[in-house]
Structure 1
Amino acid sequence: MLRSAVGVALATGVTVAVFTYRQRRALTSAAKRALRAHYCRDVDDELLHVLRTSATEAVSVTAGGDLPDDVDVLIFPGAATPDRVYAAAAALPNLKALIMAYAGILPAQIDKMRVAFGDRLGSTVTLHNLHHNAPMTAEMGVALLLAATKRLLPADAKLRAGDWRPRGLPFPGEEVDPPMPMVLLEGRTALVLGLGHLGTRVAKVLHALGMRVLGTRRSVRPGSMTVVDGVEVYSAEELASLLPRADVLMICLPSTALTRSLLGAKELALLPLGSVLVNVGRGDIVDESALFEALRSGRLFGAGIDVWYNYPANFAAASSTPPSTLPFHELDSVVLSPHRGGGIGIRDTELVRMRHLGQMIAEAASGKPMPNKWDFAQGY
């Protein structure tokens, strides 16, 4: 049939295009409308290029403050999104997904989205988050642990004043102060609360340091411990039985209805005397007063804290806002960090953010479910 059709065409002078199967598929795909994603902020050319090249040719990516009318996916880079932007987004006819380009979506932000989108949120308009900063936050958690267990900051302050006594130098015939205390991690037990994107990375590093590592995961049933890459994985419901075993407690949990106020005075009292606590999850997981008292009394050897109880309301207040109503800053056993774990604004992190975003929307463009879908029941 094909040969006869070509012969007739040649005889009549009609031009006929004959395509292979692959060519026909390519033409069909090209005729389809490209998935359109918009990054809701101006970004520099390099970051936009990384976002576009990390996606596929089947994705059209734009950026800027104005929302295109025909967009399918909106990407919000920060938590401080005004209500009017959500209202404008809700009016877009083709919108199918919202990506919050960070890990923890605050309940207040979800409430704002619910006002704008109503029942569409989570159904016809899906919500997604991003875990691009898990490596940076994991590194911060380990850094805080090492700084706290080695008393790095007070030793640093002493040596800047020419004081070598934290080393406990032995001078013949002289009485010397004992060395500043430190904790050896090798051979001790660490408990990582939350073996998600962040906690899994932390657990691997602690295991490499020679620690026995326990971890919790909500999906594990009580009494069904498994070992994954050298980490003992337990149910989150077994917390009370795990805390007495934890020389080091690493908090890598999101803030949800089940995790807020998870650790109070009762739970902290279950930790062994002289244990160390690091929080790179959320401040409201640990009771503020109970934590301060455990540190002040010396029951805890130390702590490294990156997430807090009091944050500046605006940039003007950023240089004069204490992180707590309690004087954590007076305790040498505490390493204070102003919520830097996620590496906001750090070039390395922003490049990783764009690559992860591109990969997410490429999945959607290929017809697969877009990763990191928000679970409203679980709160993450």
Structure 2
Amino acid sequence: MKILFFTHLTEEFPALIDELKEKWKEHSFICARSKDEYLEHALDSHILVYGNPSDDIIKRAAELKLIIVPYAGVGQLNFPLIRSRMISVANSHGNGAVVAERALGLAMACCGRIVEFHNDMKEGNWHRTGDQSRPFDYWYSIAGKKISILGTGSIGKSLSRLLKGFDCSVLGFRKNSGELTDYFDAITTDLDEALRFGDLVFLALPSTKETENIISRDKISLLEGKFVINVGRGSLIEEEPFFDALKSGTVKGAGIDAWYEYPSKENPAVTGSAFPFHELPNVVISPHAASHAPEGKLGQLTGACQVLETYLHNGTVINSITGDY
């Protein structure tokens, strides 16, 4: 089979591709370094390791059997067209532990008011109140707190494991019931229960038709007094009421890595939303960078290679995408 990679990851971690070539000598491995090289090889490839093939390629690539997205997000793909061609799609879960680490960092920065205190101290504000009965402005510890994690996949599991080091009680939310997942104290399929439970609510769900605005305006009231950390997708939580709740202090704080607006050639300097989340002192912002550590990127390519090798070995597609996108 002909396997075509079109991702910067093969240039960053070439040893993984060299290992594939050595192990699977009966197959052809191409690492495209440019769009022209990608287009030259795409039409007769059997497997494509790339996150955003065009509709034209999907229609014309007669031999294409499998698309492996070398990261988690797949919402950019035209699934009706892909499925009409009987092409399988899988993604990589290899960066879950690193994204979980970033989520915990956002939580600690947000609850700890680290960015707020940092910025204020540069101006000489030491956050002493002058009130003898309560002389200090407080930050909030996560130790021993109740935690809700929406999404019990690779990110959610890794995050739950990390939070156990803080003696937290962790409730996971997922759409289907089943066996208890490692490191979670309990699992629920009831969204309201999950939102009510946690002092901190972590969002680690994918973007699907089912999850769009899963935390809608009427659900945001359940987040009163809580911290929200989003490393999933911006579309999980309704934008304007979320901003309003943070601005008013109804939601105590947020750490946000997943956004509503992203840079483009026409508008390269967006701040993530039509609303000024970045101006709120109780919000810590991050430019969708939760996987942007060397370990995270190596994990992405390693995960993609695991999908590929399993398919080459026995034709099984692991991490197969079957939801309604």
TM-score range, shorter chain: 0.7 to 0.9
- Look up the SS of the partner of 2:218 in the other structure: helix
The one-letter amino acid of 2:163's match is L
Distance 1:44 1:230 in 2: 33
Post-superposition Cα deviations, 1:323-345, rounded to whole Å, max 9, x if no partner, equal 212221221000011111132xx
Cα displacement (A) at 1:373: 1.1
Q: TM-score, normalised by structure 1?
A: 0.75
What is the CA-CA distance between 1:370 and the residue it aligns to? 2.6
Question: 1:205/1:347 Cα in 2 relative to 1: closer, same or farther (>3 Å)?
Answer: closer
Query: Structure 1 215/376 Cα, relative in aligned 2: closer, same or farther at 3 Å?
Result: closer
Partner-residue secondary structure (3-state), 1:184: coil
Letter in 2 for 1:37: I
Structure 1 equivalent of residue 184 of structure 2: 231
Change (3 A) 1:295 1:101: same
Q: What corresponds to 1:295 in structure 2?
A: 246
Aligned letter for 2:318?
Answer: P
Select the residue among 38, 45, 51 that pairs with 2:4.
38
Tell me if 1:197 matches 2:154: yes
Q: Tell me: CA distance 1:68–1:103, structure 2 relative to 1, closer, same or farther (3 Å).
A: closer
Q: Does 1:129 align with 2:91?
A: yes
Matched, 1:101 2:54: no
| CA RMSD in angstroms, aligned pairs only | 2.6
Measure how far apart 1:118 and its partner are: 6.5
Q: Does 1:148 align with 2:110?
A: yes
For residue 321 of structure 1, the aligned residue among 262, 270, 282 is 270
1:187–1:366 CA distance, 2 compared to 1 (3 A) = same
Change in Cα spacing, 1:259 to 1:291, as seen in structure 2 (3 Å) is: same
Structure 1 pair 337/270, CA: closer, same or farther in 2 (3 Å)?
same
After superposition, the C-alpha distances for 1:336-370 in whole angstroms (9 at most, x for unaligned) are 11111132xx5433333332222222111212403
Task: Give the equivalent residue in structure 2 for 1:217.
Answer: 174
Aligned residue for 2:30, secondary structure, equals strand
1:135–1:177: structure 2 CA closer, same or farther, 3 Å change rule? same
Q: Secondary structure at the match of 1:199?
A: helix
Write the letter of the residue equivalent to 1:146.
Answer: M
- Aligned pairs for 1:1-380 within 5 A: 35-41=1-7, 47-54=13-20, 56-58=23-25, 59-64=27-32, 65=38, 66-67=40-41, 70-76=44-50, 78-79=51-52, 81=53, 83=54, 86-106=55-75, 108-110=76-78, 114=81, 119-120=84-85, 123=86, 125-163=87-125, 165-166=126-127, 168=128, 178-220=135-177, 227-236=180-189, 238-271=190-223, 273-314=224-265, 317-318=267-268, 320-343=269-292, 346-377=293-324, 379=325
Q: How far does the alpha carbon of each residue in 1:101-139 deviate from its partner, in whole angstroms, 9 at most, with x for none?
A: 221111x5225x71xx5611xx3x211111222222111
Given that residues 136 and 341 in structure 1 are in contact (C-alpha distance below 8 angstroms), is that contact kept between their aligned partners in structure 2? yes
Bigger Rg over Cα:
1
- The answer as to whether partners of 1:137 and 1:198 remain within 8 angstroms in 2 is yes
Gaps spanning 5+ residues in structure 1: where?
1-34
> Displacement, 1:50?
1.5
The 1:216–1:87 alpha-carbon spacing in structure 2 relative to 1, beyond 3 Å, is same
SS state at 1:259 partner: coil
Letter in 1 for 2:2: R
SS of residue in 2 equivalent to 1:317? coil
Provide the rounded CA distance (Å) in 1 between the counterparts of 2:311 and 2:110.
43
The answer to whether the Cα contact below 8 Å between 1:192 and 1:214 also exists between their aligned partners in 2 is yes
AA at the equivalent of 1:317: N
Measure, in 1, the Cα distance between the counterparts of 2:28 and 2:12.
Answer: 16
| Structure 1 counterpart of 2:35 | none
What amino acid is the match of 2:254?
A
- Is the CA contact 1:248–1:276 (under 8 Å) kept in the aligned structure 2? yes
Quick one: structure 1 residues 365 and 140, their matched pair in 2 at CA, closer, same or farther if it must change by over 3 Å? same
Distance 1:184 1:209 in 2: 10
Q: Confirm or deny: 8 A CA contact 2:70 2:92 kept in the other structure.
A: yes
Q: Work out the CA distance in 1 between the residues paired with 2:279 and 2:94.
A: 34
- Amino acid in structure 1 at the alignment position of 2:218: K
